[in-house]
Amino acid sequence: MKTYNIASLAGDGIGPEVMREAIKVLRATEKRFGFKLVITDAPVGWAGIDFAKKALPDITLDICKRSDAILFGSVGLPDRDATIPKEERPERAALLRLRKEFGLFANLRPVKLPKLLAHACPLARERQGDGIDILVVRELTGGMYFGQPKQTEDLGGGIQRAIDTMVYTTPEIERIAHVAFRAAQLRRKKLTSIDKANVLENGILWRETVARIGKEYPDIALDHMFVDNAAMQLVLKPTQFDVLLCENMFGDILSDEAAALGGSLGMLPSASLGSTSGAGTFGFYEPAGGTAPDIAGKDLANPIAQILSAALMLRHSFGLNDAAAAIESAVEHAIEAGNRTGDIFSPAEPNARRVGTRVMGEAIAAVV
Ligand code: NAD
């Protein structure tokens, strides 16, 4: 029987509650589809600091290295111990460290607004068509956030000058373009590449490179859009988009804008992928939201983002498309059956009932 090794890093706040439900759902797919998941829990974030005085304990990193994928909850509790410096706090010492360690260069953020949750979307219903369904593919390790030089200089006379450098090489653009084209092949086969080719050298190279790679994918309809127009089109007519391909900073901004259309952070999964090695792609899968300290430990969190992150893991790291699709369809069923955590509940919906984290997770696992 095919076996996959998963490092389960639940982290802080709502992390452990939503992870517990995601694992329940994974166990249900295991039974139905006949594969074996070896899931190893490891502490991270404040849980790591409590365990080994480190946000990413050595044992946790070791477990991650021996796994085929990481299923991550979230880390960070803003009110904890202000004396711990920011480099040692979980957001940097665990999250950024893991991204770097595993060379995670591709971030995938699907945003899906089911028609039944139209009330949770800030856009007028007539702009939502039959439901919004977009995948933002963001380059994660290049561009302005990492380019050198990156510094603030003193020019004298009380004047300072800050420099950030936007840099991309063709191989960096090529590898993220391949990720986006392959993702589009699993969806509606449309790819919109975002750039600022009218003013940035990077934009010209981005557009030329994506267009060249696009010739290898004749089944995908490719178009190009300037980032400022894309920001506008996302709120005017989001249904025109299938896959959006963005460099790092544009993707950072547009993926949050797209996320707002999804109704709740509690519904949004994400995948960060490294290079393909052997049969699978190493990946890091986590909800788009954080630790939600305001609702942690109260059975109020929506586990769907974590559960859909687990589905992305099955699809992108293990190639288990049927099992991933079964989870996604079980989420839709649970919503159609009226289950709503507080973040997606509206008293105006006649058949909806408010449920907790546990009941939502169980409803989804039962359908799988
Ligand atoms: P947050 O995403 O934790 O919460 C923002 C709002 O969204 C809150 O009202 C919260 O209740 C709600 N929310 C988030 N997830 C939800 C869910 N699953 N179900 C229902 N409601 C949900 O953002 P924040 O409050 O700005 O950050 C809290 C902590 O999380 C900070 O320490 C921050 O650094 C950290 N954080 C971590 C990650 C990560 O681990 N990847 C990401 C974002 C924030």
Specify the ligand 1 atom closest to the Cα of 343: 20
Closest C-alpha residue for ligand 1 atom 12: 292
Q: What is the pLDDT of residues 94-135, one digit of tens each?
A: 988 898 899 899 999 999 998 889 888 999 999 998 889 999
Closest-CA residue, ligand 1 atom 1, reads 290
Report the pocket of ligand 1 as residue ranges, CB < 6 Å. 14, 18, 74-78, 91, 95, 265-266, 286, 289-295, 301-302, 305, 343
pLDDT tens-digit map of 131-160 = 899 999 999 999 998 899 999 999 999 999
Token couple for 101: 């360690």
Catalytic (active site) residue 164: no
Degrees to nearest 5, angle at CA 253 with 248 and 254? 95
Catalytic residue among 115, 164, 196, 299: 196
Catalytic residue chosen out of the listed positions 62, 256, 298, 322: 256
pLDDT higher than 60, residue 277: no
Model pLDDT for residues 3-46, shown as the tens digit of each residue: 999 999 999 999 999 999 999 999 999 989 999 999 999 999 99
pLDDT of residue 28: 97
| Position in ligand 1 atom list of the atom nearest CA 76 | 32
Report the percent of the chain where pLDDT is more than 90.
86
Percent of the chain with pLDDT over 70: 99
Is 168 catalytic? The answer is no
- Say how many Å lie between the first and final Cα of the chain, rounded: 20
- How far is ligand 1, taken at its centre, from the CA of residue 264, in Å? 11
pTM of the predicted protein model: 0.91
